[in-house]
């Protein structure tokens, strides 16, 4: 278990405008200055500052959660903050059932012990797999396209885990399941050992109407948070 080494530090959590930012302006009548107290996690410098406010030292909640690798998100409408101890810290995570925008280069850290880095998203007519003298082809079919998400997947847990993609969502309720292409680089359904990374793709067959609409699609992974993207031109 990770513990913060704080000595006799009086801890407060800054929840105002600086909850997820670096501003030190808490209110017009209150001034926050960087404290000379140093924060450590497991004996190592945590890499963030405490703030001195009215004689007490305060920490930003996001900084603390990132330091101890615990999930955190907030609901602005309800004015509620959620800390999830079973989830690793992810700066992009906005809570279950909510959507985070992704693009090439985005890294997703899932509550299911996966780290997924998106390298590119493309729309193709077919996927080909060569094996010796033979070529196996998965075709989109008439009136369809295939969305290929090229990615690397790392098991950041401590044991073998089954990784699988759930589905693609269009307009909130139309679901497209991941294709099982039998391609050697298809990583839509994999058993991956701890700290092992596999690179490949997962794919979805969608109709031309959806591919051409340029409306956002939502990638849903193992009932985790939802990730929104727009297909390339």
- pLDDT higher than 80, residue 80: yes
Closest C-alpha among 202, 226, 216 to residue 151 = 202
Residues 124-181: pLDDT tens digits? 999 887 777 777 788 999 999 999 999 999 988 888 888 777 788 898 778 899 888 8
Check which CATH number belongs to the domain holding 126 and give it.
2.60.40.1240
Residue 74 belongs to what H/E stretch?
strand 71-75
Domain end marker among 19, 47, 68: 68
Mean residue pLDDT of the chain comes to 78
- pLDDT higher than 90, residue 204: yes
Structural domain harbouring 110: 99-229
CB 37 within 8 A of CB 57: yes
Percent of the chain with pLDDT over 90: 17
Q: What is the mean predicted confidence (pLDDT) over 27-46?
A: 81
| Number of domains comprising the chain | 2
Higher pLDDT, 134 or 6: 134
Rounded to two decimals, the pTM is 0.59
Whether 85 is in a domain gets the answer no
Whether 163 is in a domain gets the answer yes
Q: How far is Cα 213 from Cα 231, in angstroms, rounded to an integer?
A: 9
């Amino acid at each position: 278990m990770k513990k913060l080494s704080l000595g006799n530090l009086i801890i407060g959590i800054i929840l105002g405008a600086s909850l997820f930012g670096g501003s030190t302006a808490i209110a017009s009548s209150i001034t926050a200055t960087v404290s000379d107290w140093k924060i450590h996690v497991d004996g190592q410098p945590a890499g963030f500052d405490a703030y001195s406010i009215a004689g007490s030292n305060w920490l930003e909640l996001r900084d603390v959660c990132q330091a101890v690798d615990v999930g955190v998100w907030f609901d602005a409408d309800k004015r509620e903050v959620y800390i999830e101890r079973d989830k690793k810290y992810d700066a992009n995570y906005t809570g279950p059932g909510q959507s985070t925008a992704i693009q090439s280069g985005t890294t997703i850290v899932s509550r299911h012990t996966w780290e997924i880095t998106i390298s590119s998203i493309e729309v193709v007519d077919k996927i080909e797999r060569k094996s010796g003298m033979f070529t196996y082809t998965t075709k989109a079919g008439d009136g369809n396209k295939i969305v290929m998400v090229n990615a690397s997947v790392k098991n950041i847990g401590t044991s073998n885990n089954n990784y699988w993609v759930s589905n693609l969502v269009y307009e909130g309720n139309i679901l497209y399941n991941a294709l099982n292409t039998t391609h050697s680089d298809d990583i839509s359904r994999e058993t991956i050992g701890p700290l092992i990374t596999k690179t490949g793709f997962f794919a979805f067959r969608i109709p031309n109407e959806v591919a051409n609409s340029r409306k956002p699609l939502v990638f849903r992974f193992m009932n985790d948070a939802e990730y929104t993207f727009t297909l390339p031109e």
